[in-house]
């Protein structure tokens, strides 16, 4: 059951790294709500690319030992995508800058490997010969989990719209969607991006066990009048409890809740690689 719970928790986190909006009178500026996830995802993906840039903040709650907050910004244009993410934690804060060909990671001094005198490490995404290549799938996953377009892509491929209404959210007129994600489909796509040794561990038998759970992960999404995300919320608690009941074990594992807020669509962002003299050379073996 612990492995199953970890799988479900991972699915919830994949869909994603405040107060909900109140129902509002119909807003003439909002377009008619979509009734299927494919159309919703296609419209929002196009709006995200057109938006060029966005800032975001996120919070993971529900488990006292694994809470977390962070913020960042993205260039969402298809021609030059990039994302900067800060995992908050005071002196233990970490930062990632994600580009098409490389990912840079800044760790606090106490988290660096011995002899790493410079604050940044570089992971080339196209260098399979480097020992650091073992970590690049994890960093790619981080990029996918914080990039609005990738989140919407998963919604499009594995989601079902269960309801919608109009809501005012922090002064913005939004269409509020309620959706269900097929946990097995989300996990299949997540596994496909992992290293071969991890894909091999996801056997046909394990896949059948996950499919048998028929996990439906609830998700809420608020879009503005241009179909751009304003907020995303997901609570994996019900799915974890269902998995526990089917295995006749206590549902005492983490029940993550993820909230992501998006602001300043089209505003200026500053996402550049760190200066070369601040980047450490990783060991070759």
Q: What pLDDT is attached to residue 134?
A: 66
The closest alpha carbon to 152, from 88, 223, 101, belongs to: 223
Q: Residue ranges per domain, the chain?
A: 2-68+147-268, 82-146
What's the pLDDT at 233? 93
Are 120 and 280 contacting, i.e. CB atoms less than 8 angstroms apart? Answer: yes
Strand bridging mode 120-124 / 279-280:
parallel
Structure tokens at 53: 């840039």
pTM for the predicted model, two decimal places: 0.79
Question: What local confidence, expressed as pLDDT, does residue 162 receive?
Answer: 95
Identify the pLDDT of residue 92. Answer: 63
CA distance 281 to 175: 47
Q: State the Rg of the chain over Cα.
A: 20
Within the chain, which residues score under 70 in pLDDT?
A: 1-29, 63-66, 90-92, 111, 115, 127-137, 139-140, 142-146, 193-195, 197-198, 240, 243-244, 246-254, 282-285
Q: Are 232 and 178 in contact (CB under 8 A)?
A: no
β-pair type (216-223, 172-182)? antiparallel
Token output for 159: 């989601």
Say how far apart CA 142 and CA 146 lie, in whole Å.
6
The label of the residue with tokens 């060991």 reads 283
Backbone conformation region of residue 214, classed left if phi is above 0, alpha if psi is from -120 to 50, else beta: left
pLDDT on residue 45: 92
pLDDT, residue 173, reads 95
Given this model, what pLDDT does residue 54 score?
Answer: 95
pLDDT for residue 117 = 80
């Amino acid at each position: 059951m612990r492995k199953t719970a970890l799988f479900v928790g991972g699915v919830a986190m994949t869909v994603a790294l405040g107060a909900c909006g109140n129902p509002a009178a119909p807003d003439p500026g909002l377009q008619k709500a979509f009734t299927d996830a494919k159309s919703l995802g296609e419209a929002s993906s196009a709006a995200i690319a057109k938006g060029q840039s966005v800032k975001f903040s996120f919070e993971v709650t529900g488990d006292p030992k694994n809470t977390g907050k962070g913020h960042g910004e993205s260039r969402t244009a298809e021609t030059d995508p990039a994302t900067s993410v800060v995992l908050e934690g005071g002196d233990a804060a970490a930062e990632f800058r994600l580009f098409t060909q490389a990912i840079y990671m800044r760790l606090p001094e106490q988290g660096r490997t011995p002899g790493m005198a410079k604050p940044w490490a570089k992971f080339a995404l196209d260098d399979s010969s480097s020992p650091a290549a073992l970590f690049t799938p994890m960093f790619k996953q981080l990029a996918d989990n914080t990039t609005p377009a990738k989140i919407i892509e998963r919604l499009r491929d594995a989601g079902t719209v269960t309801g919608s209404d109009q809501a005012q959210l922090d002064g913005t007129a939004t269409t509020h969607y309620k959706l269900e994600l097929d946990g097995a489909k989300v996990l299949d796509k997540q596994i496909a991006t992992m290293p071969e040794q991890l894909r091999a561990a996801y056997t046909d038998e394990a896949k059948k066990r996950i499919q048998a759970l028929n996990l439906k992960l609830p998700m809420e999404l608020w879009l503005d009048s241009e179909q751009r995300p304003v907020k995303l919320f997901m609570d994996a608690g019900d799915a974890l409890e269902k998995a526990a009941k089917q295995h006749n074990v206590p549902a005492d594992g983490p029940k993550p809740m993820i909230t992501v807020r998006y602001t300043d669509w089209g505003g200026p962002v500053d996402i550049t690689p760190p200066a070369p003299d601040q980047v450490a050379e990783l060991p070759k073996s």
